[in-house]
């Protein structure tokens, strides 16, 4: 893929995600018109966690058939993992108490040791059970894994 096309794809994903900033749950129970659209996109119901559904919905709106999951660990198959976060990559945060990736979102940009992100089902303090779509600032050391869904997966895994 040429660089211009890559920039256009990245810009499109980010524009869709940015258009959702400010979406909030109706009652704080993983509900509301737009939140339920994200959940329906991945075959889930009102009231279920939706950070991965949000990421999947954004990619779907950009014309991608994958990823399409509400299970945040499902966004990080080895063939999609990357070591260098780029805009429009998916990031995952590991929660030791759960023993898995339990929150995810999209990388908007990297600046030094920090990531600007766009995430669903978070809040001002960055919870994994939040109330809306927010732009967050996260330190790189808080992120466990990244996945590249814009490019074809590599057979050997990590890039």
- CATH (domain of 97): 3.90.1720.10
**Averaged pLDDT for residues 69-77:** 97
Query: How far lies 31's CA from each of 11, 24, 48, 92, in Å?
Result: 28, 9, 8, 23
User: If pLDDT is split at 50, 70 and 90, which confidence band does 155 have?
Assistant: low
**Averaged pLDDT for residues 129-141:** 96
| Inter-helix orientation angle 51-61/3-19, to 10° | 130
**Full residue range of the structural domain in which residue 78 is found:** 3-147
Instruction: Say if 17 falls within a structural domain.
Output: yes
**Averaged pLDDT for residues 15-41:** 97
Instruction: Say if 16 falls within a structural domain.
Output: yes
How many distinct structural domains can be found in the chain? 1
Instruction: Say if 158 falls within a structural domain.
Output: no
Instruction: Say if 152 falls within a structural domain.
Output: no
């Amino acid at each position: 893929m040429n660089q211009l096309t890559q920039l256009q794809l990245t810009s499109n994903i980010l524009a869709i995600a940015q258009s959702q900033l400010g979406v909030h749950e109706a009652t704080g129970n993983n509900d509301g018109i737009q939140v339920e659209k994200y959940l329906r996109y991945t075959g889930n119901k009102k009231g279920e966690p939706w950070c991965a559904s949000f990421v999947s919905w954004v990619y779907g709106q950009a014309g991608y058939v994958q990823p399409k999951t509400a299970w945040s660990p499902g966004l990080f198959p080895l063939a999609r993992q990357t070591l260098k976060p780029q805009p429009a990559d998916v990031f995952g945060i590991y929660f030791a108490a759960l023993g898995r990736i339990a929150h995810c979102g999209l990388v908007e940009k990297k600046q030094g040791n920090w990531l600007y992100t766009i995430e669903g089902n978070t809040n001002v303090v960055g919870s994994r059970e939040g109330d809306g779509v927010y732009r967050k600032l996260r330190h790189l050391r808080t992120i466990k894994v990244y996945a590249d869904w814009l490019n074809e997966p590599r057979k050997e895994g990590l890039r």
